[in-house]
Amino acid sequence: MYQKQTLKVNSRHISGINDSKIHVMDKKYIIANWKCTKTIQDCLLWVDKVGPQLTTRGDTEIIVCPPFVALDAVRRRIADEGYVLKVGAQTVSSFEKGAYTGEVSVMMLTDLVDYVLIGHSERRSLMHETNQDIAKQVELCVRYYLEPIVLVRSEDDTIPAGVKIIAWEPVSAIGTGKAIDAETAGEIIEKLLHNGQVRGLYGGSVNQSNIASFIQNPNIAGVLIGSASYESSTFLEMLHALRSS
């Protein structure tokens, strides 16, 4: 369905993916979720470090998810410099428009992002977002032509209709350094996806040592990276780890 992938870092041919497998695999996603860690300036420094190192053709999509306040600056820098990066929001309001002080709605994001993370476990536990809120956010994203990426902790978290990409993030693995092994993650993701049209990513303590195992797993469509994505140098090390795998 997608073109054969090549990804180069520092002019050296890298592929996150074993070449023999590329033809049977669809697009792979590498998502950097910066959470609440960076100023606008920090975000721009990161993209200026990583962006020039990337040339990509085909089917690896690298998506950065800055805080709302940095979205416009990051998007402009990527466009101006021609970096091969996409932009995602870390969340979105369940409301479309109106008297909801402090909310950022899909209609405000349409010119800024391609993707929206929805239902991160930190949003569910700390901001008390429910499956209903998440379904509403997905519905609004679909209506406004943004691609929702729904994060699920287990099969108790429902995957709303219209979702094409999910990320399975077991709470025990988020920010703990205790990633699930790729084989188990692949099996669980396969079970979570009742619908062949939905792609499943893995998230939770992805780092330089384990990223290749997730990317190479045919049941895993990519990775969602938190802490190991904060530093541009560590992020580049992960891409190099993919190249040498």
Per CB under 6 A, residues contacting ligand PGA are 33, 169, 174-175, 203-206, 224-228
Element containing residue 6 per DSSP (H, E)? strand 6-9
Report strand pairing: 60-65 vs 28-33: parallel
Residue tagged active-site, from 61, 120, 122, 129:
120
Closest separation in Å from C-beta 82 to ligand PGA: 28
Closest separation in Å from C-beta 200 to ligand PGA: 14
User: Whose Cβ is closer to ligand PGA: residue 22's or residue 90's?
Assistant: 90
Q: How far, in Å, CA of 215 to CA of 31, rounded?
A: 12
The angle formed by the CA atoms of residues 157, 210 and 190, to the nearest 5 degrees, is 35
Break the chain down into helix, strand, coil percent, rounded to 5.
Answer: 35, 20, 45
Residue nearest ligand PGA, Cβ-based: 226
Q: Does residue 90 sit in helix, strand or coil?
A: coil
User: Whose Cβ is closer to ligand PGA: residue 51's or residue 203's?
Assistant: 203
β-bridge partners, 88: 115
User: Whose Cβ is closer to ligand PGA: residue 123's or residue 136's?
Assistant: 123
Closest separation in Å from C-beta 223 to ligand PGA: 9
For residue 169, indicate whether it is catalytic: yes
For residue 120, indicate whether it is catalytic: yes
Residue tagged active-site, from 23, 155, 169, 237:
169
- Per the CB < 8 A criterion, the answer to whether 90 and 120 are in contact is yes
What residues are annotated to the active site?
120, 169
